[in-house]
Amino acid sequence: MGSTPVNVFLPQVTRIPIVGPAPFNTLDCCTSGGLTSVPGAGAGFTTRGQVRAISRFVLEGFDQRVAPNFQHSTSGWLAQIGPSEEDDWLYAIDSIADAGFDPASGTFFVDINLAVQYGQVPSQFLTGGLEEFVYAVYVCSYVLVNEPPLSQPQGQARTALATFQPPRGFPRFAGTTPGPLFTRTATGTPIRVASPVPVSQLVRCRCECDCCRKQKCVTHQSKKRRCNCTCDCCRS
């Protein structure tokens, strides 16, 4: 069985020559995103924060002494969320806060305002005192810039690793408790977050009554549902 040759072009930056308006001569389309987290976020409360998504777009001809002249149009979407089991949850890209070029490297970045309230994590996702949250976002930017003509062979453009980092001035979040740093991986395994609520308080009831079915009886949930169980976990 033969294989079909596949050409893979990386990084994912598209440069489109344009004729204006001056001084712009190039429209760059770039994406960034991946798994992220908001410091202090957990189940039962909403936390807002800002993350910086760093693209693979490096401005050709970047000079640290000159602020790049650019215009951008950027939006974002949720890419992955969960898991959650019978609980309140919120995953939000509230807005695109800012965009620009890193003053040291000339790499294009986007600052994103996020909000999240994780749901109760099903027991099978709880491992060793950690909760497995998945929260991934994706942004796409079109950027008008002026770049010098290509000075190197096609396919050997400068590259940078797309990732998330805290924005300048970190921390700029409204978390309630100290939380983990942002993930630095664009793709990969779910984020492991130490819960602000001890795991021992999250899932422990094994009651089989209606209100506690599915082995999900967190104390505050039981109260909310007016649980009348007499087991230890539901009496408190």
Partner 1 sequence: MPINLDVNNSSQVASASLIQFDTGVANQQAVIFSGVAIPSFGSNDDSQIFRDTVIVNFRFTVLAVVEETVSLGLASISNNDSNFVFATDTGSLAIDNTSQELLLQVDVAVSGSPSALLRFGYQVVVIATTQVTGISGTIRFSKDVFDASQITADQVSQLFLVSADTQIELPPPPGGLFGQIQNNPVAFGALTGMTTNGDDFDVTYNIPGAPYNQQLVVIVQAGPLFTPSQQTLTGQTGGPIPLVLTVATPSVSGVDFRIVNSNLR
Q: Which residues bind partner 1 (CB under 8 A)?
A: 18-21, 24, 27, 71-78, 81, 86-97, 115, 117, 138, 140, 142-144
C-beta of 14 vs 159, nearer to partner 1: 14
Cβ 26 vs Cβ 125: under 8 Å: no
Pairwise CA distance, residues 112 & 199, whole Å? 30
**Residue 172 CB, nearest approach to partner 1 (Å):** 16
Reported residue count of the chain is 236
**Residue 192 CB, nearest approach to partner 1 (Å):** 23
Pairwise CA distance, residues 134 & 231, whole Å? 32
C-beta of 18 vs 67, nearer to partner 1: 18
Pairing of strands 130-145, 71-82: antiparallel
Work out the burial of residue 45: count CB atoms within 10 Å of its CB; fewer than 13 is exposed, 13-18 middle, 19 or more buried.
middle
**Residue 45 CB, nearest approach to partner 1 (Å):** 13
C-beta of 70 vs 125, nearer to partner 1: 70
C-beta of 218 vs 234, nearer to partner 1: 218
**Residue 225 CB, nearest approach to partner 1 (Å):** 9
214 SS3 class: helix
